[in-house]
Structure 1
Amino acid sequence: MEEKYDSISEVNLKRLWWNFKVYIVRIWEELSKYNKQETWSIEMVLQDNKGDRIYSTVPRALVQKWTPILHEFQMYTMTNFTVVDNKTKTKNGVSRYVLTFSHRTKVTHVEVPTFPLQAFRFRSFVDLQNAAMLGDADMFDIIGEVVGKEEPRDLITSKGRETKRLVVILQDLDNNRMSCTLFGDLVDQIVPHLQEERVEPLIVVMQYFKVSRWNGKTSVQSNFAISKVHINLDLEEVNFFKTRVVSAGPSSVSRISYVSSPRDWSAADELKNGCVAVKTIEEALNVAQEGPIWIAGTIVSINAGKAGWFYKACRRCLKKVETPVGTRYECAKCGHTHGVAALRYKVEVMAHDETDSICLLLWDKETTQLCGKPAESIFNEKLAPDDEYPHTLDNMMDKKVLFKLNVKAANVKQYDPVYTVMKVCDDEDTISKNLPMTLVDNNTHVVNEAGNNNSFDIPGIVVNLTIDNDTHFNMECVSSIKFKTPAKRVASGVKVATINLNQDEEEVHHSTNRFTRKLSKKMKSQQSDIDS
């Protein structure tokens, strides 16, 4: 008489004794967070004859007992578990209930399987790209041929652990393509198979991956230890896929090509590639979706105090360091200690175009590109008593720049008025070719001479030239006007205030802007000439 087995779908907390016949469709080890050489637990995904799946775990005390017995894609009978309820949270997207091994658990290997293995639950590329919504806990399997790769990158996680990242491009049988990001040991596993001269198709199955959507593009990525890459696996699904690929005809060139990541492109390359549309600042302030966008604007203000234009960073991972350990700094992210921290730019500026103004945060690479010198080289520049930052940063003033912004949810919801800059381009030819159409027709300043209005019209800033009929304040003086804001955050979308040179002293003290060193010196010089 054939023994009766329970179905995974029947699992609940009311019964103490369960008897299953299942395949192990995924098994892996979780390492101790205190000692990476020690296995903390064995994690598994089990599947019965109905295709239902459940999560199972072997605690540390039993790891040594079960490690040599449990193997992936093998069938077992299993009895006596402790059932744990994760309430409404599914364990790794697999199941609400977890079967936990105990000292009473019994496992027997089934030499002759009684039902077929259904190891994967494939999702098509088109299905993933068209899906209206995919949750963070939703995981799935995909199959494809590797047709492209990027260069592997070294990373340091938020917990200070060193790891790797690699992007490969997969192609399905209908020539649809999907970007797939691998992390950690999966990178080391696949890299030896990615030779550029390879002529045989490399078929991979990405098991228990999750979807990622950014800026309207869909990709997949590994999800910690549960994810696995199967390379040229000898299973029916893989063999069928490979046969279809080979039957399409032999490839006369290498099957895996190198592709450059958009992150590797310079700003000019990205703009010349034609994959971006530059927005006006007004349009940028009104975007309703997170993601990268490009804008064009002129830097009209620098918001930086004496120590507000840089930060001290770890020399290994570039994370900000604050707490000294004796005379040394210790990085809280990667744990590296060193005698002297690196100095890196972190500068807040205001950019303006004919439509609006916007507050931007420039990091080290972008600031260095715009001002021409690294932060450490200008740290010791002598400052006048009323100077707020080194003179070198003034090299950015009045520069017309294309900015690539990272629009965050806080920007969209107007919680944070400062937009982070990802890339900059100050090449004049590239800028002129990529200006928004609404700015192309208005990229020159006009002098208004109607009536008695002797004003020079600068977008967002109007400077009155009539100062007690003093003809010495000429157009040359106005053309050098630059503004610096006090060391405080400026409201998003607020244009630089109108400055009238007839303001009395009280009004000037209440102004949110003041003249730069260059204008002040020029005014003093011209006043001296008048007095003489």
Structure 2
Amino acid sequence: MDPKIAKHVNDIIESMMEFFEAWSAIDEQIANSLKALEKLEEEEEMETMGYVDCNPLDIPLYGFEFVPFGDILAKKGSDVYLIDIIGQVTAYGELTKTAKSRCMTIELMDTKNDNLTCVLWGTYADEMINYINAEGANGAIIVILQFAKRIMYKGGVRVQNSRYASRLFINTQLSEIIAFKDSMCCKTQQISGQLTQLTNDSDDFLKQEYVKDIFDIMNMKKSCVCVCLATIEDIDVGYSWYYDGCNRCMSGVIREDDVIRCRKQNVVLRSTTPRFKIKLIVADKSGDASFMMFDKEVSKLVGRTAKEMVASQNQIENNEFPEEFKSLLGKRFLFKVTVPYNNGVDQNYSYTVNSTSDEPKLINKWIELYMKFENSIVVKKESEAESVQECEENRIKDTCIRSRQVLESVSKRIIPDDSDGEANDMHVDNYSNSDARVEIIDSDRVVAQLKDMIDQHNPLAKSFRMARDRFESNNGEDLKLRLIGRRDSDGRTYNLPTTSEVAALIVGDIDTADKRD
């Protein structure tokens, strides 16, 4: 390019650059002016409309909605929804590695002393076991598991984390955890940080809070799991020993003409499978109850499936109760049962068996825990009795002091001021020398007076006395004292007959009531 032309081109480019820079500055000034104008218009509008500054909204950071353990154990609500729980860790199991993941079991207790089993999987289990190993000895561990799942395992209710949605908070400085600790301290005066390690499945089957006898189970006021040691006394043959169950979920079926539907899932089934269902009458030293036992546990005890037993019954065309069940009579087992939320309502004392065991080791452990529990009750009752006795002694002592004060006051009023007070002093001294005891009215004298009064004025009492005297004078003679009819009228106006014989003739009275004597 010609040097002159190139020089002019450069001049033009420099001029254009200066122009763009100046335009950018002008554009920025215009933008700032517009912003200032908009702000001024907003302020004028706020003044016109009367707007005021608002306080920041108090929105929870995580929005916890904790579910009480009692509601979870009672299976209130649907298990489709995820729930939030908070509790103190009281026991934990070892970290177990499975084919696809890792898991550990912890026991939680809430402020109402309800216990709940929680299973953590994957990274949640890693986080929990790492914290226990590092800080387990440094005080109580309070955890929050948000978006947990309620599940059924071996007939019991427990919770576990969901795969990705759950959040685990361990002793963090959340207001909910601080409030939980304060609540526990207010109730127990001291929050314990001692942890118990779960070692095997037997600990899961037989926990100390599960150990009950039949009387205790029948008097439980909340839904829970209990383990009792009882003997099978009888089997109720009035109930069918099996039912046709769904092949998928083991629930019952509904037959409509030729269509078979699952009672739980309401899907059409092509076939069904016989399932055990027997009603046991079990007993221990405290009482007896009805236990419903289903397919898995019955098969474990009799060594056969319901399908095999039904087939053998059909071969010999026998519709009676199978003989195999008679082998269970008289045997003693540990029964792990579920106590329903309506326990005892309308005399309902039937319980579902979750699992059974006849291992001597477990039975001995149950007996040990049961004796420990019974001894603690005895000690508690003795302590309460001593406390009651001490309160009674203090009450009598206070009464004596008040009585002496009243006596002194009365004596001063009765005895003239100009007397030497010897009688008063003597009376008080005699009262003091008797250990300041309150004068006790002769109970025998009172009873005798009441007896004389009743004998004199109550005609029915005279009849009873007469029957007693005749019975004593004629040994072996059968006597019957009959009170006439039942009261159909107001006893304050109409009294029952009191004389032994009444005869009257009333003109026009043809009443044939059968309550005449």
Tell me which protein shows more helix as a share of its residues.
Answer: 2
Which of the two has higher C-alpha Rg?
A: 2
Relative to total residues, which structure has the larger strand share, 1 or 2? 1
Q: Scaled by the length of structure 2, what TM-score is found?
A: 0.39
With structure 1 as the length reference, what TM-score do the two structures score? Answer: 0.38
